[in-house]
Amino acid sequence: MDIPANAQAFPAPAKLNLDLRITGRRDDGYHNLESIFCLIGLYDTVCLKPRDDKKIILHNPTEGIPCEQDLAYRAALSLQQHTGSCRGVEIWLEKKIPTGGGLGGGSSDAATVLTVLNQWWQCRLTRQELIDLAVGLGADVPFFVFGQSAFARGIGEQLVKIEIPKQWYVIVKPSVHVSTAKIFSHENLTRNSKPSIMPTFQSLQPFRNDMQAVVFQEYPEVWKAYCELSKYGPTLMTGSGACIYLSTDSQQEANNIYQQVLQSYEAYCVEGLDSHPLFQMI
Of 266, 268, 235, 269, which is closest to residue 252 (Cα–Cα)? 269
**Residue tagged active-site, from 19, 70, 109, 140:** 140
The rounded Cα 229 to chain-centroid distance in angstroms is: 21
CA distance to 35, 40, 67, 73, 211, per residue, from 246 (Å) = 17, 13, 35, 33, 17
Of 4, 6, 13, 86, which is closest to residue 277 (Cα–Cα)? 13
Residue type, 20: L
**Residue tagged active-site, from 15, 19, 44, 210:** 15
Alpha carbon distance 58, 61 (integer Å): 6
Judge contact between 138 and 122, C-beta under 8 A: no
15 an active-site residue? Answer: yes
Q: Which helix (H) or strand (E) holds 12?
A: strand 8-25
Q: Which residues are catalytic?
A: 15, 140
